[in-house]
Chain A
């Protein structure tokens, strides 16, 4: 059994190597033939570095290799009319999702990104998000990673801080979202976005249909992990497949699984409220530590994306349909006050959305969101941990209209009928998102 396995590994290794070297071998083997046939051809040894020969081409090539990194700035602003309640019953809100929703005019997510090839082996990128919260300006390093560019064979390794591969929505920057706010399930499970430090290895298979698999080892600094652990705090495995259905339409499907062992994860939202109420009774407050959860947390997500454009010509008209379903199971201990109680439960939800660009400059979008949370255990513990669903199944209906003068600017009007808490909230948002400087291509 063991021998056969080793033989199999060796066999496939040798064959893959042989495949990799095919072209190289032929180049060496037929050097003489090349010289005979066409003496004007440059010496094969000089080929790999500089395939082009004329002086003009060299000039052109050197002009392109600018050593300045790409700097891009995203300007984002919002006018929002809403009732302000930011709760999502049954979910602990963390990160940006926990911050009280700004009403009226507000500056959104100002994003400064600097990226460049570092040398012929590495690419690096840093994205800093500047946003204001309660009158304070916060600077957050959203991304800071290096990535290999020369491993070849479909393998890429990324290390540093990154948007994790926990969902399709999470792989997109905020400015690339199709709506002004994150889906409820992303808000509830990831605090809008899941950003962590670690290492990602991904591999694209040499197949006609896209098959990409990968894994991430993460520190577990971000919700839902709780306190940062010394070693490996969380990990992800993911796979994406995709292809074309016709000249006009393409699809992509993904699956991801995320595991972490939260340690003393406090309910940020529950804590915030307690804090407000207790502001005048500081002595009392100091005694009472916020409820915290320790245990294990597993999240699985599936996504499907479909895009259509007449003749595959996206500029004038296209449709994008996107849906994701995520489910998280948690099992562990809630410490609140002097008590410690076991709880376990499930949080799940989905969104389905469509965006239709019906004219070169105009897009309309629709979205439906639904989430659900159910925990069993000591009622008080669940409530203290901010996981009480209050008998609700939060839902939201969204419609949007976008004016897109170019690929660099967008003005969006969005309406939400938000039924995520017991009172239905009519929310209207007017948002602009503008991009300055060179801007990298967006993924599918």
Chain B
């Protein structure tokens, strides 16, 4: 009898702790930038899990057990979309069998569906490499889009959790104002960077270069997603001799070897640019990170 009672108590306790855990919304952010954005908009009303870090290529993530477990408990997915997570997110949604985060459900929020995309293609062929017909998915690299995604996220959060709607909306407005202030502060850096010429590892900086007026003269990858080959890099050396560039940049998750090799051959500086925030729990994470990106670019292209 007594063990049945203790069993009953155990069940009740676990069930009540389970419902206690659901008093904040569980947010599953596919990338660190969306974890930071959700944190800025929702603060302590949200329990956020970031599935990847700035050190990881979000296109090549394993649908690992921990991600299925987190997706199972999520009330809201915040991801880039536009096929960036196509190799793992559909599987997480299917395996976790959580109706809240299914496509078209209210808890399925894709950043690329909230803003105008660059690099849309009418026709895509595998021989072109890893290109996305829907457009370039790396929309977090530009402040205007980021602010818009923030306000869209706030209204989505308000739909899921109406009792905190005002808070979310207010935080989104504040975040947008912070970005505008930061943009004014970045004006001199922006002027300095306008017209600079960069060699990039992969075509994942389009929103940043478009915003800053930077020209991308070459890619280290022969085709998007195809690792740099010696042959391609040699051809770049010849190309750079004719049409010079200011610097070579690569993302924090990309192998620096190719960039360093070319930097040595072409006498150009090569620098790592953090592709996302490093500590999304800081309220100012996104603005600090953008600030860092601009400063690194300015330093690299100074000469």
For B66, list chain A residues within 8 Å (CB). 208-210, 242-244, 250
Q: CB of A51 within 8 A of chain B?
A: yes
Which residue on chain A has the smallest CB distance to residue B126? A408
State whether A38 touches B158 (Cβ < 8 A).
Answer: yes
**Minimum CB–CB distance for A187 against chain B, Å:** 27
State whether B165 touches A444 (Cβ < 8 A).
Answer: no
Q: CB of B169 within 8 A of chain A?
A: yes
Which residue on chain B has the smallest CB distance to residue A18? B19
For B18, list chain A residues within 8 Å (CB). 15, 19, 206
- Whether A37 contacts B106 in the complex (CB less than 8 A), given A11-B11, A152-B98, A314-B61, comes out as no
State whether A23 touches B97 (Cβ < 8 A).
Answer: no
- Whether A312 contacts B98 in the complex (CB less than 8 A), given A30-B163, A204-B72, A210-B65, comes out as no
**Minimum CB–CB distance for B54 against chain A, Å:** 9
Digitize B12-38: 1 where CB-to-A-CB distance is under 8 Å, 0 elsewhere.
100110110010000000000000000
State whether B226 touches A208 (Cβ < 8 A).
Answer: no
User: Dominant SS at the A interface?
Assistant: mixed
**A205 CA to B72 CA in the complex, in Å?**
8
Q: CB of B209 within 8 A of chain A?
A: no
- Whether A242 contacts B72 in the complex (CB less than 8 A), given A150-B99, A311-B55, comes out as no
Digitize A33-67: 1 where CB-to-B-CB distance is under 8 Å, 0 elsewhere.
11001100100100111111000110011011000
For A182, list chain B residues within 8 Å (CB). none
**A79 CA to B91 CA in the complex, in Å?**
34
State whether A22 touches B69 (Cβ < 8 A).
Answer: no
**A369 CA to B87 CA in the complex, in Å?**
31
**A244 CA to B158 CA in the complex, in Å?**
32
- Within A1-37, the residues touching B (CB, 8 Å) are 1, 4, 7-8, 11-12, 15-16, 18-19, 22-23, 26-27, 30-31, 33-34, 37
**A26 CA to B53 CA in the complex, in Å?**
33
- Within B90-114, the residues touching A (CB, 8 Å) are 90-91, 94-100, 102-106, 108, 113-114
**Minimum CB–CB distance for B225 against chain A, Å:** 7
State whether B97 touches A41 (Cβ < 8 A).
Answer: no
**A205 CA to B126 CA in the complex, in Å?**
38
- Whether A156 contacts B97 in the complex (CB less than 8 A), given A37-B169, A51-B106, A440-B90, comes out as yes
Which residue on chain B has the smallest CB distance to residue A253? B65
State whether B65 touches A240 (Cβ < 8 A).
Answer: yes
State whether B95 touches A204 (Cβ < 8 A).
Answer: yes
State whether B73 touches A206 (Cβ < 8 A).
Answer: yes
| Contact among A4, A31, A312 with B162 in the assembled complex (CB-CB below 8 Å) | A31
Total A-B Cβ pairs within 8 A: 208
**A242 CA to B72 CA in the complex, in Å?**
14
For B55, list chain A residues within 8 Å (CB). 247, 311-313
Q: CB of A304 within 8 A of chain B?
A: no
| Contact among A15, A63, A316 with B16 in the assembled complex (CB-CB below 8 Å) | A15
Q: CB of B159 within 8 A of chain A?
A: yes
**A151 CA to B227 CA in the complex, in Å?**
41
State whether A152 touches B97 (Cβ < 8 A).
Answer: yes
State whether B159 touches A252 (Cβ < 8 A).
Answer: no
Q: CB of A263 within 8 A of chain B?
A: no
State whether A123 touches B94 (Cβ < 8 A).
Answer: yes
- Whether A149 contacts B158 in the complex (CB less than 8 A), given A38-B169, A210-B69, A242-B65, comes out as no
| Contact among B7, B56, B64 with A250 in the assembled complex (CB-CB below 8 Å) | B64
**A120 CA to B116 CA in the complex, in Å?**
28
For B70, list chain A residues within 8 Å (CB). 208
State whether B97 touches A154 (Cβ < 8 A).
Answer: yes
State whether A152 touches B99 (Cβ < 8 A).
Answer: yes
| Contact among B64, B99, B113, B156 with A307 in the assembled complex (CB-CB below 8 Å) | B64
For B68, list chain A residues within 8 Å (CB). 204, 210, 212, 242
**A333 CA to B25 CA in the complex, in Å?**
59
| Contact among B11, B134, B255 with A316 in the assembled complex (CB-CB below 8 Å) | B255
- Whether A154 contacts B113 in the complex (CB less than 8 A), given A19-B18, A27-B162, comes out as no
**A208 CA to B63 CA in the complex, in Å?**
15
State whether B159 touches A44 (Cβ < 8 A).
Answer: yes
State whether B64 touches A244 (Cβ < 8 A).
Answer: yes
The residues of A with any CB-CB pair to B shorter than 8 Å are 1, 4, 7-8, 11-12, 15-16, 18-19, 22-23, 26-27, 30-31, 33-34, 37-38, 41, 44, 47-52, 56-57, 60-61, 63-64, 120, 123, 148-156, 204-212, 240-244, 247, 250-252, 307, 311-316, 360-361, 405-408, 440-444
19 A-B residue contacts at CB 8 Å? Answer: A7-B8, A11-B11, A15-B18, A16-B15, A33-B162, A41-B158, A52-B113, A56-B116, A149-B94, A211-B69, A242-B65, A244-B66, A250-B66, A315-B253, A406-B225, A408-B126, A440-B90, A442-B63, A442-B91
Knowing that A206-B73, A210-B66 are A-B contacts, what are 8 other residue pairs whose CB atoms are under 8 Å apart, sorted by A's residue number? A12-B11, A22-B19, A51-B106, A204-B96, A244-B66, A313-B56, A360-B227, A405-B226
